[in-house]
Each structure stands twice: as structure tokens, then as C-alpha cells.
């Protein structure tokens, strides 16, 4: 018989409630059993960061394990569909764009779509030759039909949602299924020894003992750093942005006429702005570097992006630091969410890292104390590898830009702003374009032989390995070719005069079916979720229907 384990999560928000909900779903069979006592302690005094959040398709796995109904979840969180990220003005500052969609065609038995595109005149954006989703997104269509669909393979999608309502939804759902919830401040943390927590004490006088503690206290990292002393690895050399000015734009005054079924990432003078549509409003946020633009100028630029009379809308400044804990699991404490690390949300991986932290903890859950260090070692290795994989991928968006209009964009292109793993990928792919085998053993000449956190005594000293757990060669093709990588090489390899770019007949047929079967995104939301109909107001700057 399994001995019941006790787990205390300190901190709520999206990270805390994702951890509680997923662990309860995975370890306690959605609350049907009680193998683990899960207790979440949430401070009533901690400000909540209420922003629109974009996710990636892995969120659907978390919801399935938790056991929630998709439509209930979408109603409760103001959720909309997300099929892609649209990157505008990242290559040059001339309103050009490309999409990073979730679905694409894979040719069989050999996927040579990237090579075919390089051998053409590249007159059609690469992703439009191998995916119907960029055009489906530009048409503003839902990924789901209102009735029976005859489109064949379903379109992959994720969600946009209100992060605060998401946390509240998971809280209510989890408490109904056995998770204990306490609103209180943790005022003392007692140690069993220098590496293990024995209990936490709240300002209500509760002493909460546990076998395992999860730190979801955000950047404060009250357990993993302030109590256990685990250090932080600064990665701001590769990603210069450290601030975000955010604003909510309500539809009752600023409805642009449709709900985009994708996230927009528009490059501005000293960073980029997210534009996330929900059911009642859009959430926009200007991610920028304080070394290149001050707060007042950043807010002014964000408001200019929105356009119209928006002075009455409140703006909020969020400060962040890019980096990760030297260990996210130390002793009997696991840091999930911002306590474990942060990378700017360019590819919508904020919630993903919390998601993965919970998924990996369920898979490596210590049912007894013996062998916990072995589990922690593997957990730390996998979380570390995934962090660096994300760091490389986001670093790539910046360093491939051709913009020269501001000092910020000139700075991010400098060789010292490209980490050695990514630089090695670039050099390799200038010899041979990306292909599946590249990630069988992702160690390439030019990479460092030690971890970035080499100065920490307990750090894993092996180099990080990109396992393509999140982004494979197809994802790299999307960004690389969208950012004009290999443009010069393809001319050298295949000549200046190349045949016109062609779109697969399969893609053309899929687009025709989409036009006939998929409703406008807003119409689907109104019919399925009861989203309100709004009168169209002035559209934001740069809006393309």
C-alpha cells in the first residue's frame, strides 16, 4: 500500500494552482483517491499580476489531466483560441510579418519542404507553403467548426485567457476535489537540516509539516532562495528586456470589429508589444529594455500603438529578470513558476514552464524519502535543458533582425548577444539546413563544454542539450526562414534565378475547406460561449483584419 505523502504549496496564482490542480489530477486520480495530501497556502496580501496570457498547445494536456471541460474553462477565463503568433516588424521596420502557427504539413516519406522553398524564388512566405493556418488566421477564422467538420486532421490550437481568472478557476475546481486551501501569510520556515524544510508557520498560528514543499512565491522565492540559499543565474546578457508596460483595452469602448485567433508580437523601437485578444478585452504589453528607453517613453509608445483616446486606461509597470535557479529542486523543495526562473513571454512559454514543472514533478514524485536526490538530479537536468532550449529559441528572434533604426536593435545583433549554443546552430545550418537528425545529439562545434552556472558548487556542469522537446527542426525552419536566414546562402547554392515558390495542393484544398466550414472566430465565441456582441470602435494602430 502506498504511504500517503504530504505536499505543501506556498503561493497561489497561476503557477501555484496549476501545480495543485495537475498534481491532484495525476497523483490523486482527479480527486478520486487520496495518495497525496495537497495543501496550498496563499497570501491574501500578495498583489496579483492580472494580464492576458497566451499559451501553447501543451495547456490542453494539463486541462485533460486536471479533468476540466474545455467550454467551461473557456467561459470562466474569458478564453479565446490561439492558432499562431504573428511577428510584425521583426526583420525590418516596414510592417512586414510572418506567422509561427501550430499546425503544418509534413511531407512523407521525406520532409523536404524547407529545401524546396530555399530552391525557389521565395516569393511566398515559407510557412504559407506548408501550413494553412497563417491564411486561416489572417481570415480571422476559428480553428473549430460550429457543426460537423470535414476538414480531416484538426487544426492545433492553444488559448488566450485572463491569467487571474484562470488561477481562480483552478482553485475552485481543485478545492472541490480535495485540495486544501488556506488564505494566510507564511511568517516562519523551520528547517529539518540545511537542505530540507520541516514545516512552515502561518500568521494564523498553523504549523504545516510536509514531505515536500513547492515554492510558488514568484520572484521573491521565499523558500528556494531566501530559506535554502539556492542562487540565481542571470541570463540578461542574451535577452536585454527587463520591463513590461501593460494595459487592458475593453471591447465596450475599443472593439476592433473581430477577435484575432492568434497572438500578435509587434516589434517597436526598444522591444516588442504583445496583443492578446480575450472575450471582453485585449491585453497589450510593451516588453522593453530599461537601458534603452525610460518608463514614460515606453508607455507613450504603447499608447500610440493602441491609437485613439486611451489616456483613461490604466497602465502598469512590471519589472522582471531573465534567468533561472541553479537548481529548481533542492532538498525537499521544488520551485515552480517565477520562483524557478523567467524568460520573457515572446513564444508564450510563461505558463508552459509552470506546466512542465508540475508535469515533471508528477512523473518524478518521491513516494518515499529514499532516492529523492536521484529524482531531483534528473528533474533539475530536464528543467535546465528545457529552459536553455527556450532561451536559444527566443534569443534567435532578436539576433536575426536586420533593423538598424535604434541602438536597441543594433545591440541585440552583436555577436556577444548570441549565446554559444545558438551561434553553433547558426554556423551548422549555414552548411546544412535544419533537419530531424539535428536534435538526436544537439551538441555542435563551438558550444561550451560547461554549463552557464559553472560557478555554483552544486550546479550540473554538463553542457545543456537541446532535445527539441518543445521546438523541433520545423519550428526552427519557421523562424529562420521568416527572419530571412539563409537568404544569401540559398542564392549561392541554387543561383539567383530560381523557379517561383509553389504552395502544396493539399494546403490549397485545406484553405478552401476552411473558407466553407470554419466560422469567424468571434462568431464561434458568441455561439458556443455566449460572448457579448460589441459595436465596432476605432481599430488599434497597425491593425490588419
Q: What are phi and psi of 259, to 5 degrees?
A: -115, 110
174 within 8 A of 24, measured Cβ to Cβ = yes
Nine cell digits for residue 405: 533604426
Map grid coordinates 469567424 to a residue. Answer: 520
For residue 150, the SS3 value is coil
Burial class (CB in 10 A: 0-12, 13-18, 19+), 423: middle
Cis bond leading into 109, ω under 30°? yes
- Angle ∠(79,83,85) on CA atoms, nearest 5: 100
Nine cell digits for residue 485: 536566414
Task: Please state, in angstroms and rounded to a whole number, the distance separating the CA atoms of residues 344 and 398.
Answer: 12
| Known active-site residue 82 | yes
Nine cell digits for residue 157: 490550437
How do 158-162 and 52-54 pair as beta strands? Answer: antiparallel
Residue 230: C-alpha distances to residues 53, 330, 388 (Å): 28, 8, 19
Task: Please state, in angstroms and rounded to a whole number, the distance separating the CA atoms of residues 249 and 256.
Answer: 10
| DSSP code at position 337 | G
Which DSSP string corresponds to 397-459?
HHHT----SSHHHHHHTSGGGS-HHHHHHHHHHTTS---GGGGTS---TT--SS-TTTTSTTS
Task: Please state, in angstroms and rounded to a whole number, the distance separating the CA atoms of residues 436 and 221.
Answer: 38
How do 333-335 and 329-330 pair as beta strands? Answer: antiparallel
User: 454-491 as b/e, with b when 16 or more CB fall inside 10 Å?
Assistant: eebeebbeebbbbebebbebbbbbbbbbbbbbbeeebe
Of 4, 30, 82, 488, which one is the catalytic site residue? Answer: 82
Q: Which residues are catalytic, by number?
A: 82
Amino acid at each position: 500500500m502506498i504511504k500517503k505523502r504530504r505536499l505543501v504549496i506556498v503561493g497561489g496564482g497561476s503557477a501555484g494552482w496549476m501545480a495543485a490542480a495537475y498534481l491532484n489530477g495525476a497523483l490523486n486520480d482527479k480527486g478520486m483517491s487520496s495518495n497525496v495530501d495537497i495543501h496550498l497556502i496563499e497570501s491574501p496580501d500578495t498583489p496579483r499580476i492580472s494580464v492576458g496570457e497566451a499559451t501553447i498547445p501543451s495547456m490542453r494536456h494539463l486541462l485533460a489531466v486536471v479533468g476540466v471541460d474545455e467550454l467551461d474553462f473557456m467561459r470562466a477565463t474569458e478564453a479565446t483560441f490561439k492558432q499562431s503568433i504573428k511577428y510584425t516588424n521583426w526583420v525590418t521596420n516596414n510592417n512586414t510579418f510572418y506567422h509561427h502557427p501550430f499546425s503544418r504539413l509534413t511531407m512523407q516519406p521525406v520532409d523536404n519542404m524547407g529545401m524546396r522553398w530555399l530552391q525557389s524564388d521565395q516569393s511566398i512566405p515559407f510557412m504559407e507553403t506548408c501550413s494553412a493556418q497563417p491564411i486561416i488566421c489572417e481570415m480571422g477564422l476559428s480553428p473549430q467548426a460550429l457543426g460537423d467538420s470535414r476538414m480531416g486532421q484538426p487544426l492545433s490550437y492553444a488559448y488566450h485567457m485572463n491569467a487571474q481568472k484562470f488561477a481562480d478557476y483552478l482553485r475552485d475546481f481543485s478545492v472541490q476535489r480535495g485540495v486544501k486551501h488556506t488564505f494566510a501569510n507564511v511568517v516562519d520556515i523551520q528547517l529539518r537540516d540545511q537542505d530540507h524544510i520541516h514545516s512552515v508557520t502561518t500568521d494564523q498560528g498553523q504549523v504545516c509539516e510536509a514531505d515536500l514543499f513547492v515554492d510558488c512565491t514568484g520572484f521573491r522565492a521565499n523558500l528556494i532562495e531566501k530559506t535554502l540559499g539556492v542562487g540565481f543565474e542571470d541570463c540578461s546578457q542574451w535577452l536585454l528586456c527587463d520591463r513590461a508596460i501593460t494595459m487592458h483595452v475593453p471591447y465596450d469602448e475599443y472593439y476592433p470589429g473581430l477577435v484575432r485567433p492568434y497572438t500578435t508580437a509587434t516589434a517597436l523601437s526598444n522591444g516588442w508589444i504583445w496583443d492578446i485578444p480575450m472575450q471582453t478585452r485585449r491585453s497589450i504589453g510593451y516588453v522593453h529594455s530599461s537601458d534603452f528607453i525610460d518608463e514614460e517613453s515606453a508607455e507613450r509608445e504603447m499608447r500610440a500603438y493602441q491609437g485613439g483616446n486611451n489616456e483613461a486606461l490604466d497602465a502598469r509597470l512590471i519589472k522582471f529578470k531573465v534567468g533561472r535557479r541553479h537548481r529548481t529542486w533542492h532538498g525537499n523543495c521544488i520551485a515552480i513558476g517565477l520562483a524557478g526562473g523567467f524568460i520573457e513571454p515572446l513564444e508564450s512559454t510563461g505558463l508552459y514552464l509552470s506546466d512542465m514543472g508540475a508535469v515533471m514533478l508528477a512523473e518524478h514524485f518521491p513516494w518515499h524519502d529514499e532516492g529523492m536526490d536521484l529524482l531531483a538530479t534528473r528533474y533539475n537536468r530536464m528543467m535546465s535543458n528545457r529552459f536553455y532550449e527556450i532561451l536559444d529559441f527566443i534569443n534567435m528572434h532578436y539576433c536575426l533582425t536586420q533593423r538598424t533604426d535604434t541602438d536597441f536593435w543594433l545591440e541585440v545583433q552583436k555577436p556577444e548577444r548570441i549565446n554559444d549554443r545558438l551561434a553553433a546552430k547558426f554556423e551548422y545550418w549555414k552548411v546544412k539546413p535544419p533537419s530531424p537528425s539535428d536534435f538526436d545529439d544537439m551538441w555542435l562545434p563551438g558550444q561550451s563544454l560547461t554549463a552557464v552556472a559553472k560557478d555554483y558548487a552544486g550546479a550540473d556542469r554538463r553542457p545543456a542539450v537541446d532535445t527539441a522537446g518543445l521546438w523541433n527542426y520545423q519550428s526552427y525552419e519557421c523562424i529562420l526562414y521568416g527572419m530571412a536566414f539563409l537568404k544569401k546562402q540559398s542564392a549561392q547554392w541554387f543561383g539567383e534565378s530560381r523557379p517561383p515558390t509553389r504552395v502544396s495542393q493539399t494546403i490549397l484544398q485545406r484553405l478552401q475547406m476552411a473558407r466553407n466550414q470554419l466560422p469567424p472566430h468571434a462568431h464561434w465565441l458568441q455561439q458556443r460561449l455566449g460572448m457579448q456582441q460589441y459595436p465596432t470602435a476605432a481599430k488599434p494602430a497597425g491593425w490588419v483584419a
